[in-house]
Structure formats: structure tokens, C-alpha cells
Amino acid sequence: MSVLRLKLPTDPRWVNIVEKNIEEILTDHAWCEQKAATNAITIITNNSEHQDLVQDLLALAKEEIDHFEQVHNIIIKRGLKLGRERKDDYVNELYLYMKKNGNGSRVSSLVERLLFSAMIEARSCERFKVLSENIQDEELSVFYRDLMESEAGHYTTFITYARKYGTGIDVEKRWREWIEFEASVIANYGKSETIHG
């Protein structure tokens, strides 16, 4: 996953925790997909003047909702229940970092939101890879390998638009700062049966 440039890889033993509560990981995952779709719509709402961004993020939002449906179908097929929406402490820490680091301009707000989104997609992609390679459940192994490829595409979309519309901002420098910050955050996770937990 060197393309994602993440500094701290997930310990594969995290999958042992996940396997003890498949219902919880699937519920958490479903809500992650719903939030990703909502996030894409929010970016569209706030930046509707960028036609190419709107088109690409509409496609991305549809894909995230499709993933939500796929996870929900697995939950139903296994006789499990989609639990209530879960709080995502990892994402909340990234969100606060995003809010703190914008300078108030529309360009800065857009770049920060896109890098925030790219960071979540990068970590989700890495977690899906770890799941696909280590989980004993064959159906879920194949499912997470397929999703991993999709999440990598989403990461690329967000980074590309940050570079395109980040006029006057050193986007590469900001991305390196995001990667450093994310490493300090994720170091506290990997102990619960959630996608970012």
C-alpha cells in the first residue's frame, strides 16, 4: 500500500478482534459507506461551480451507497441485524484537525475537505486489504478485496481535485502534514471490531 503513503500499517492481529464480532464490523462498515456518500454530497453542495468535481463526486456517492447496500445485503443474508449508526472516533479526530487547519477561504476549505476525505479512503483501503488477506471467512475476504480497489480509486479522486483546485496552496506539503497527523491518530486504534477502530 505504498501508493497510499500511510506511515503506520495496521497490525494483522486486528482481524482476530474483528472475527469475534462479524455483526459489529458489518454494521460499522455499512455506516462508514453511508457517511462517505453523505460527505461526497456535502462537497458537491459547497462547491457546485466545479462541474467536473460535481460529476465525479456524484458517481462516487452512488458507488458508496451501492457499497452500503452490498454490506446490508450480507447482513441480511447472514441473519444479522444492521445496528444503529456508530460513532467513529478516528474520523472525528481527523474532522477536528480539518476544521482547525482551514484559513477560512473557500479554496482552503475545499482542499482541507478533500484531503480529509482522501485520508479516510486511504486508511479504509488499507484496512480492507488487511481484512481481505487475513480473515478466515472466504466470502468476506473476496468482498473486501473488491472494495479495496474501489476505495483506492476514491482516494485518487479526492487527491486529484485537491491538486486541481488548490490554487495558492502547497497541496503536497499539506498532504504530508495530514499523513503525519493521521499516523499519530491511528496509533491509538486497532483494538476494536470497527473499520477504523
Binned at pLDDT 50, 70 and 90, residue 1 comes out as very low
Q: Taking a C-beta distance cutoff of 8 angstroms, is the pair 57, 164 a contact?
A: no
What does the chain look like in DSSP terms, one character per residue?
-GGGT-SSPPPTTHHHHHHT-HHHHHHHHHHHHHHHHHHHHHHHHH-TT-HHHHHHHHHHHHHHHHHHHHHHHHHHHTT----PPPP-HHHHHHHHHHHHH--SSHHHHHHHHHHHHHHHHHHHHHHHHHHHHH-S-HHHHHHHHHHHHHHHHHHHHHHHHHHHH-TTS-HHHHHHHHHHHHHHHHTT--SSSSS--
Read off the pLDDT of residues 64-100 as tens digits, 9 standing for 90 and up: 999 999 999 999 999 999 999 988 999 999 999 999 9
pLDDT of residue 150: 85
pLDDT of residue 115: 98
| Cα–Cα distance measured from residue 161 to residue 168, given in angstroms and rounded to the nearest whole number | 14
Read off the pLDDT of residues 102-151 as tens digits, 9 standing for 90 and up: 888 999 999 999 999 999 999 999 999 999 999 999 999 999 999 998 88
| Cα–Cα distance measured from residue 79 to residue 167, given in angstroms and rounded to the nearest whole number | 50
Read off the amino acid at residue 128: F
CA torsion, ordered 83, 88, 91, 92, to nearest 10 deg: 130
Q: Taking a C-beta distance cutoff of 8 angstroms, is the pair 185, 197 a contact?
A: no
Return the C-alpha cell found at 1. 500500500
What would the 3-class secondary structure string for 160-192 be? HHHHHHCCCCCHHHHHHHHHHHHHHHHCCCCCC
pLDDT of residue 151: 84
pLDDT of residue 3: 56
Mean pLDDT of the chain: 95
441473519: which residue's cell?
79
452500503: which residue's cell?
68
Q: What's the pTM value of the predicted model, to 2 decimals?
A: 0.95
